[in-house]
Amino acid sequence: MKRFISIIVALAMVLALGSALVAYADEPFRGYIDNGGEVSTANASPSGPSVTSFTIGKGTGSVSVSGWAISLAGVNGFKIELDGNDITSTCTISQGQRADVLGAFAGEGYNAENNPNPGVSISIPTKSLNNGDYSAVVYLVDGDDNEQELYDIDIYVEAGAEVVSEEAALKGKSLDAVYFDDDAVCTANAIAWLDNNYADRLINRTDEGFTSIALYGWVGYVGEIASFGYRIGDTDTFGDFFHETGSDVLGAGGANARRFTIRIPVGTIVDETRIDLIVKFTTDEVIVIQDFWVAIEGDANDLHPEQGGEQGGDTPSYTYRNASFDSFYVDGVLNFGEADGNASDKLDARSRRVGEGDGAIQELMLRGWIGFDQEIEAFGYKIGDAAPVYSADFFQATEEAVKGAGGEFAQRYCVTVPVAGIEGEQTIVMMVKLANGTEVAIDDQLEATGVATPPNTSFTFVGVPGQQPPAPTADASMIIFVVAAAAIALVVLKKKAF
């Protein structure tokens, strides 16, 4: 009887272990360095710390980051190490409200009760650092006094690099909207919008037909801001560009953060001309917030043919707007063990080949967003010469920031591709079916009928070399695992009994 009970206990332990292997544990914390930008649940992956870097000249007073941090156990504080040494007491740490963060992760158990101040700004003193490379790590200390690695900050102190004053240390920044005259052409993530829609941020105002550009956003520094302005060539112009600043901005960018709306007349600009958004501190120091270019001569497609030009062949029955291919998972491993974002670059680094031909990989997953000039009916995938497979389950919740960057029809996606049992080398590519029935492969042949360079989701999957039996399902695998483990348990118990 005792032996029977032992066997039952052993089987129960095996089943518990098996359940742990196939279940996804709730993530106890999340955080990201976004400098006050829009919250993205994609780039806030808890699989690794948020990473950023600074290159500064010797004598720079400090480097600063701002972002957010939340924990299911609450946040007791933060611990900061520089090259393994605790420097928390020398750093400036402030927290504030970030309703956008709590809204983005409300479904995961994070709320204002356990995380009343998700916004965090951290300033690390660097004035005494000699030339060389330094590594700072920010740990979140949760309500149970557990330390979770939150941010990794690489600091490079180099001879000849710019020396940033203490006042000019950035605490947070967000460029939210762009207006051509009075038309809002972008209402969120304006820096990404500029980068995605205009090569080298060069805007041809003759094509666009406007005489002024207005930019709306906020910025926070250690120092107090006296005024905002713009620089055209060597001429600085300051004006009454302050905008009402709310508590959300102060929470994300510090007590000296300010909103602005800077309107710049461009009707008389000739040729390609750089324009800088600038800020003046109460110390009269002036620094650049953001730069872009404006031109009135030439065709934008002539200047930057990679962003448009002749399409060749039949005119497509759609217009591609914008996209971001963020994440590529191999059996749950994000971007081959690297940070989230720029999944296409991660594939390029591996010659767009996935798999070793041993049949070990069971499932791939692609995440991101894309926008066209019409509604997306379905997302799917195509393997080799087989017909595309579509599913309504591939749609993901889409936030306003995505629609601001990709148009009103932009959608987030999470496409899963089962690859168990695939033979030989097969090309796999994500597919989009549009409202007009057009099926579009999201690869390097996607015609850039808009102004943004399309992503490339295609790759070669290296399957098993010959005929293979179908891979067991998750349930079948668990049964095999349990039976095998039970057999082992019986042998062990039998040996012990005799």
Rounded to 5°, angle at Cα 198 from 192 and 200 = 90
Task: Supply the pTM of this predicted model.
Answer: 0.39
**Are 395 and 283 members of one domain?**
no
Whether 491 is in a domain gets the answer no
Whether 406 is in a domain gets the answer yes
Strands across the sheet containing 225-232: 202-204, 286-295, 273-281, 225-232, 235-239
**What is the Cα Rg of the chain in Å?**
27
What is the structure's pLDDT at 86? 95
- Nearest CA among 162, 138, 159 for reference residue 77: 138
Report DSSP state, residue 385.
T
Whether 315 is in a domain gets the answer no
- Could you tell me where the DSSP H helices lie in 86-150? 99-104
- Nearest CA among 204, 76, 50 for reference residue 138: 50
Report DSSP state, residue 129.
P
- Nearest CA among 416, 417, 379, 374 for reference residue 395: 379
Range from 116-130, 205-219, 291-305 carrying the lowest mean pLDDT: 291-305
**Are 159 and 176 members of one domain?**
no
CA distance 468 to 382: 21
Report DSSP state, residue 263.
E
Please count the structural domains in the chain: 3
**Are 347 and 452 members of one domain?**
yes
**Are 429 and 380 members of one domain?**
yes
CATH of the domain at 342: 2.60.40
What is the structure's pLDDT at 87? 95
CA distance 123 to 250: 15
Strands across the sheet containing 62-71: 29-33, 62-71, 119-125, 92-96
**Are 140 and 246 members of one domain?**
no
Whether 52 is in a domain gets the answer yes
What is the structure's pLDDT at 319? 80
- 174 vs 308, residue with greater confidence: 174
Position 428 pLDDT exceeds 60:
yes
Whether 4 is in a domain gets the answer no
Whether 498 is in a domain gets the answer no
Rounded to the nearest 5°, which phi and psi values hold at 443?
Answer: -135, -165
**Are 134 and 49 members of one domain?**
yes
What is the structure's pLDDT at 492? 40
Contact 170, 207 (CB under 8 A): no
What is the structure's pLDDT at 364? 94
At 254, the pLDDT band (50, 70, 90 cuts) reads confident
Domain end residue (candidates: 307, 330, 353):
307
CA distance 220 to 172: 5
Rounded to 5°, angle at Cα 436 from 431 and 437 = 45
Whether 119 is in a domain gets the answer yes
**Are 353 and 222 members of one domain?**
no
Domain span at residue 377 reads 320-462
**Are 112 and 178 members of one domain?**
no
Structure tokens that stand for 122 in this block:
């951290």
**Are 452 and 348 members of one domain?**
yes
CATH of the domain at 60: 2.60.40.10
Mean pLDDT of 459-479: 59
**Are 140 and 201 members of one domain?**
no
Tell me what the pLDDT averaged over the chain comes to: 77
Task: Name the helix (H) or strand (E) containing 398.
Answer: none
Position 487 pLDDT exceeds 50:
no
Q: State how beta strands 225-232 and 235-239 pair.
A: antiparallel
Position 133 pLDDT exceeds 80:
yes
At 438, the pLDDT band (50, 70, 90 cuts) reads confident
Domain end residue (candidates: 100, 135, 164):
164
Whether 6 is in a domain gets the answer no
**Are 337 and 396 members of one domain?**
yes
- Nearest CA among 188, 466, 404, 436 for reference residue 319: 436
What is the structure's pLDDT at 45? 44
Domain end residue (candidates: 307, 337, 360):
307
Q: Which residues pair with 138 in a beta bridge?
A: 80, 151
CA distance 381 to 429: 6
- 369 vs 3, residue with greater confidence: 369
Position 13 pLDDT exceeds 90:
no
At 200, the pLDDT band (50, 70, 90 cuts) reads low
Mean pLDDT of 10-31: 48
